[in-house]
């Protein structure tokens, strides 16, 4: 498979974690979404992903799949082991619940076009984003108390942790210190002890290195 993605994109990063966790080899195709380049808006890429966003997974037969949560579900169904969902149906739903707090409740507000629009309207985009991240992480931390073990839901990583790690990185970029949410900071540490989470880290991707990240 080929993963069209960008090193610092949190949605891309989720898919990289799942691919690494499930030991799926992939070709890394960098799409530079920085405001000065906007490679996601080029006609060629738009054919792959009409939403003009990363990530897009292109299967070996050429079919495409977008939306990181849909890609995670696809990988879970096609490569069930090791699993990124608990076996109990209620806990599976809780893992998805926590993932959606990030996917639906935070990330859309921190996306580049959203920030650009807030700026155009005369608002303080950074302050706007900071507010949504803090509100979302407050909710995430409180919700996770019911299920957390070593990870957000029990003692194995799930979709919830796959979404958490890139989101905490984004929080730092907006000058929010994750230590404000001790449970989330502790789970992030547990995740980062695992090789697949290390391999998927933004700073280790080829386009990050090329851009002289951080
Ligand atoms: N819900 C989508 C979000 C995709 C998304 O917002 N991607 C961002 C990067 S994290 C992007 O491509 N931003 C550039 C743009 O929207 O122009 C997913 O989970 O895949």
Cα 88 to ligand 1 centroid, rounded to whole Å:
30
Question: What's this model's pTM, rounded to 2 decimal places?
Answer: 0.97
The pLDDT value given to residue 137: 98
What spacing in Å lies between the alpha carbon of 53 and ligand 1's midpoint? 5
Q: Is the CB of 49 under 6 A from ligand 1?
A: no
Mean pLDDT of 36-56: 96
Could you identify the residue written with the tokens 């890394």? 28
pLDDT at residue 126, as a whole number: 97
pLDDT at position 210 is 79
Atom nearest to 71 CA in ligand 1: 20
Query: What secondary structure does DSSP assign to 2-52, as a single string?
Result: EEEE-TT-HHHHHHHHHHHHTT---EEEE---STTT-GGGSHHHHHH-TT-
Q: Whose CA is nearest to atom 14 of ligand 1?
A: 53
d(CA 202, CA 141): 23
What pLDDT, in 10s, does the model give residues 74-120?
A: 999 999 999 999 999 999 999 999 999 999 999 999 999 999 999 99
Residue nearest to atom 13 of ligand 1 (CA): 53
Burial code (b: 16+ CB inside 10 Å, e: under 16) for 39-78 equals bbeeeebeebbeebbbbbbbeeeeeebbbbbebbbbbbee
| Dist. CA 167 → ligand 1 center (Å) | 13
Q: How far is CA 208 from CA 4, 72, 119, in A?
A: 14, 23, 26
Closest ligand 1 atom, residue 107 Cα: 6
- φ, ψ (nearest 5 deg) of residue 38: 50, 50
């Amino acid at each position: 498979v080929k993963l069209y993605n960008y090193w610092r994109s949190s949605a891309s990063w989720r898919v990289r974690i799942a691919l690494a966790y499930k030991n799926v080899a992939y070709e890394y195709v960098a799409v530079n979404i920085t405001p000065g380049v906007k490679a996601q808006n080029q006609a060629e890429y738009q054919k792959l992903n009409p939403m003009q966003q990363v990530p897009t997974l292109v299967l070996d037969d050429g079919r495409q799949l977008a939306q990181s949560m849909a890609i995670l579900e696809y990988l879970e169904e096609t490569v069930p082991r090791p699993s990124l969902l608990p076996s109990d149906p209620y806990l599976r739903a809780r893992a998805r619940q926590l993932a959606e707090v990030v996917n639906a409740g935070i990330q859309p507000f921190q996306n580049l076009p959203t920030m650009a629009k807030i700026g155009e309207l005369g608002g303080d985009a950074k302050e706007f984003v900071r507010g949504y991240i803090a509100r979302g992480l407050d909710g995430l931390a409180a919700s996770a108390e019911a299920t957390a073990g070593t990870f957000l839901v029990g003692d194995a990583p799930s979709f919830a942790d796959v979404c958490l790690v890139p989101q905490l990185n984004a929080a730092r970029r907006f000058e929010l210190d994750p230590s404000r949410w001790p449970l989330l900071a502790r789970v992030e540490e547990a995740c980062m002890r695992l090789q697949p989470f290390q391999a998927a880290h933004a700073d280790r991707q080829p386009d990050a290195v090329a851009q002289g990240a951080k």
